[in-house]
Structure 1
Amino acid sequence: MNSWKRTGRGDRLRIVSGFSGEEAGVLRGLFTEIRQMLGNRAAQAPEDELAALTGIRTGPTSRPTDRVLARLLPDFTSEDSDLAGGLRSLHEPELIEAKDAAAKLVLDTLPEAGGRVELDLDQVDSWLAALNDVRLALGTALDVDEQMPEQLPDDDPRGPHLGVYQWLTFVQDSLVQVRVRSL
């Protein structure tokens, strides 16, 4: 992947980079998996007659049992479990929708076989949100914390995936740096 760069000005300002076919394949696989996880969670929403009448969608009241999904869909409060469940039920559908839309935008703007990606600033913001979600999910699955070394022992099965996590960090950081300069 090339670092992200700015091109154009004003309404024609775009942020561009290029991805190899392998890189695009990795990203597409990760974002597809995130969308599947979010879709499965959305399918767990209870049938609610009042929601059908009012148009207010509701979601599950309980925290996801999968720790990766729980990291993507954290509690809205930790002070009161009844309040937490109610807030989750009201806000989780919108959160899932926003995360899914960001991941879909990445998939829509990333050529399947790799190549040039050209984004406007709104698309950059969606890419940043989606990259953050993928990094959170992968970091949770790998148990990444501040104590983890940059390179794991050869016999650690997380090693190859840690390399992907570090690459995602570079992609996100590079995009953040060019986005900040675009303000």
Structure 2
Amino acid sequence: MRKWSRKNSLGGLKLRSEMDAHEAEVLRSLVGAVTGLLTDRARAAPEDDLAALTGLQMGNTTPPDDPRLRRLLPEFHRKEPGSPDADRADLNSALRSLHEPDIIEAKVAAGQVVLETLPPEGGKVTLSPEQADAWLTAVNDIRLALGTALDISTETPDSFDSDDPRAPHLDVYHWLTWMQDSLLQALAP
């Protein structure tokens, strides 16, 4: 992948890069995996009679079991010991039920923008600033999910031994980090 560049045109600001076929295939696969996780989560939401009557979309009330989804859909409120709401277990459930469907929808839509703007066989990629924002969201979600699967922390080495099965995945994680950084720098004025 080439570094993202910033080009002003008659149609406005455009962000450009180029990916080879293998990179495009890897990115498409990762976007599909993350949006699949999110879509499955949305489909697992319980049926709600009030939602059916009002048209309001209701989500799950419990946090996801999958650690990758827990990272993508964290709790809305952290209980602080001794605070007045420390024993209000229903607060996160209510907030999750109300907001999780919209969050999932936005994340899946961002992934869809990547799939629509990424040439299937690789090649030149040209994005508007709005599309670039969607790419940043999708790439960040992929990094969060992959980082959780790899158990990335401040103590994770820059590389694993070549015989470690996580080594290629860590390389992909670093590539995504570079891609995100390059796109952010190109977006900055």
Say whether the fold is shared (TM-score over 0.5). yes
Measured in 1, the distance between the counterparts of 2:162 and 2:16 equals 35
TM-score scaled by structure 1?
A: 0.96
1:154 deviation in Å? 2.3
Amino acid at match of 1:7: K
Measured in 2, the distance between the counterparts of 1:8 and 1:87 equals 42
Measured in 1, the distance between the counterparts of 2:156 and 2:9 equals 41
2:158 aligns with 150
Runs of 5+ consecutive residues of structure 1 not aligned to the other structure: none
Answer 1 or 2: which has greater helix percent.
1
Residue in structure 1 matching 2:111, options 103, 120, 131: 103
Which digits, 9 at most, give the CA deviation of each residue in 1:78-125, with x for residues without a partner?
Answer: 223210011000000000000000001100100110011110011111
Runs of 5+ consecutive residues of structure 2 not aligned to the other structure: 80-87
Measured in 2, the distance between the counterparts of 1:10 and 1:58 equals 43
4+ residue runs of structure 1 moved beyond 6 angstroms? none
Measured in 2, the distance between the counterparts of 1:63 and 1:155 equals 35
Amino acid at match of 1:35: T
Amino acid at match of 1:53: L
1:10 deviation in Å? 6.7
Measured in 1, the distance between the counterparts of 2:10 and 2:42 equals 38
Measured in 1, the distance between the counterparts of 2:110 and 2:32 equals 11
TM-score scaled by structure 2?
A: 0.93
Amino acid at match of 2:172: V
Overall identity of the aligned pairs, in %: 51
1:136 aligns with 144
Pairs aligned (count) = 181
Amino acid at match of 1:14: K
Residue in structure 1 matching 2:102, options 87, 94, 102: 94
